[in-house]
Structure formats: structure tokens, C-alpha cells
């Protein structure tokens, strides 16, 4: 047990060093930081147009009001911020590390190889506007819907986001592992980018069979839908159980 605790502390310390080094890199090349923030802001503008559209037209998706759509969109934007901050760059660089031989160097480091190649980079540009706008949208929608603010709901929503992050890590890392057997992996990256867009709208726009696949087999719909449905009180007991165990199942499967 003490050994496990020491390993966790060591990896947390190393990760903190990664974060500081990446921050120093962004501060040295401020143009990259500004360009990233502007690109993310363009993405946010499109998402805000979606929300305005629902407010102006009164269209509902499976009974979801404009306020509930704002809650969903805010959750999607927060998850996008998490993905772009801690995972996106690492997954994009993984094929390069495989093909140029950097993995051989990483294997000599006294930390987990998977930890090194999937968490080494931290993006400070793209997530900043996403985090700010996403949180603002969730807070506004929370109040407009009239959901009671309790410690249990806040903690539960945070745990849903944490679970969704674990699922995101596994299902978006798996395609990149195929780079071990392919020379060109650009198509894999493009597929991952398009797959992320499946979360931009609630899963209820799809048929029941597609929803089951997207939750229980290839859990793309897990990422933005379950945290939102938790706040709206629409999670079933099976959903809650699956939300707890699915990240562990995917992680074990990925490392088997």
C-alpha cells in the first residue's frame, strides 16, 4: 500500500512539472497562446449561435427546453476544454513518438510509459475560453431551469465530469494505438475529431438502438449526456452504475 502511495505521489509530482514546463513554453511563444485562444473563441461563437437558435425558435429536442439545451451545450463545452487541455495534444503526438523512436527514450524513464506519452503535454490556449464560457452557461442554465443548488448536486456533477473524462481518455486513446501498425495515421486523427462532434447534440436525436451503442458499447454519448442528465434528474439506476464502472472497464480492456 505504501508503495502504491509513493508511486501516485511521484507521478503527481512529475505531472506538475509537465504542467509548469508547458506553461513556460506558452509564455515564451505568446503568439501561439493568442492564436489558440482566438481559434477556441471561434468555436465558442458557433456553439452560442446554436443556443440562440433554440431560444429564438422555441424548438425542443425530445422535450428539452432552450434552458436545458444551454445546460447541455455548456457541459459539452466544459468537456471540450478538459479534452483539449490534458489529452488532445498528447494523442496527436503519439503517432509521431511511435514513428520517430521517442518511445524508446521514454521507456528508460522511471515513470509509467503510458503516463509519459498520454499526459506529457498540457494545452493552455484552447481550454481557457471554453472553461470560462462553459461554466458560465451551466451556471446560467442551472438557475433558469430552477435546479436546487445543493452540495450533493455540485459534487455529483463534478464526479460525472470526472467519469466522462476517464471514458474520453480510453475511447480516444484506443484508435491512436493503431499507429503501431500503420505508417500514416492522419486519417485516424480525422476520425477522432469527427467522433467528438457526436457529443455536440443530445443523444435523443438518434434512434434507441444507436443510443444504446453510444452509451454501452462505444460510449461516445457518455461524455456530455450523462452529466447533463444527472442535473436534470433523468439518470436511471443503470446509468449511474454504468457511469461508475465503465471508466474502469475501458481502462482495464485498454491495458490488457
Tell me the sheet residues that pair with 61: 64
Spans of the chain, pLDDT less than 70? 1, 62, 179-189, 256
Rounded to whole angstroms, the Cα distance separating 8 from 242 reads 26
How wide is the angle at C-alpha 4 spanned by C-alphas 252 and 171, nearest 5°? Answer: 25
pLDDT in tens, 189-246: 677 777 787 788 888 888 888 888 888 888 888 888 899 999 998 888 888 899 889 9
Rounded to whole angstroms, the Cα distance separating 237 from 8 reads 32
Whole-number pLDDT of residue 204: 83
Would you give the DSSP letter of residue 61? B
> Percent of the chain at pLDDT above 70?
94
Closest of 44, 131, 16 to residue 82, by C-alpha? 131
Rounded to whole angstroms, the Cα distance separating 63 from 235 reads 15
Closest of 209, 172, 211 to residue 191, by C-alpha? 172
Whole-number pLDDT of residue 174: 81
Q: What is the DSSP string of 70-119?
A: HHHHHHHHHHHHHHHHHTHHHHHHHHHHHHHTHHHHHTTSSS-HHHHHHH
Rounded to whole angstroms, the Cα distance separating 88 from 193 reads 10
Q: Are 176 and 169 in contact (CB under 8 A)?
A: no
Rounded to whole angstroms, the Cα distance separating 67 from 56 reads 12
Q: What's the pTM value of the predicted model, to 2 decimals?
A: 0.89
Closest of 133, 142, 157 to residue 49, by C-alpha? 133
Closest of 139, 108, 220, 136 to residue 174, by C-alpha? 220
Would you give the DSSP letter of residue 182? -
Closest of 164, 192, 194 to residue 176, by C-alpha? 192
120 vs 15, 62, 72, 208, 209, CA distance in Å?
7, 41, 30, 39, 38
Rounded to whole angstroms, the Cα distance separating 9 from 151 reads 28
Whole-number pLDDT of residue 156: 93
Amino acid at each position: 500500500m505504501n508503495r502504491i502511495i509513493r508511486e501516485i505521489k511521484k507521478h503527481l509530482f512529475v505531472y506538475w512539472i509537465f504542467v509548469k514546463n508547458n506553461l513556460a513554453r506558452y509564455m515564451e511563444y505568446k503568439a501561439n497562446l493568442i492564436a489558440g485562444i482566438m481559434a477556441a473563441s471561434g468555436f465558442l461563437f458557433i456553439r452560442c449561435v446554436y443556443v440562440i437558435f433554440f431560444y429564438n425558435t422555441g424548438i425542443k429536442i425530445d422535450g428539452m427546453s432552450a434552458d436545458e439545451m444551454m445546460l447541455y451545450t455548456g457541459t459539452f463545452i466544459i468537456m471540450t476544454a478538459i479534452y483539449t487541455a490534458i489529452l488532445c495534444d498528447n494523442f496527436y503526438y503519439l503517432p509521431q513518438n511511435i514513428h520517430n523512436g521517442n518511445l524508446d527514450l521514454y521507456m528508460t524513464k522511471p515513470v509509467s510509459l503510458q503516463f509519459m506519452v498520454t499526459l506529457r503535454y498540457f494545452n493552455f490556449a484552447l481550454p481557457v475560453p471554453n472553461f470560462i464560457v462553459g461554466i458560465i452557461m451551466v451556471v446560467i442554465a442551472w438557475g433558469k431551469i430552477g435546479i436546487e443548488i445543493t452540495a450533493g448536486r455540485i459534487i455529483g456533477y463534478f464526479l460525472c465530469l470526472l467519469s466522462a473524462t476517464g471514458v474520453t481518455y480510453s475511447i480516444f486513446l484506443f484508435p491512436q494505438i493503431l499507429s503501431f501498425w500503420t505508417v500514416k495515421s492522419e486519417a485516424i486523427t480525422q476520425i477522432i475529431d469527427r467522433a467528438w462532434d457526436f457529443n455536440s447534440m443530445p443523444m435523443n436525436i438518434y434512434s434507441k438502438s444507436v443510443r444504446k451503442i453510444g452509451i454501452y458499447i462505444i460510449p461516445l454519448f457518455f461524455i456530455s449526456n450523462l452529466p447533463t442528465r444527472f442535473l436534470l434528474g433523468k439518470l436511471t439506476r443503470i446509468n449511474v452504475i454504468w457511469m461508475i464502472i465503465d471508466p474502469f472497464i475501458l481502462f482495464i480492456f485498454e491495458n490488457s
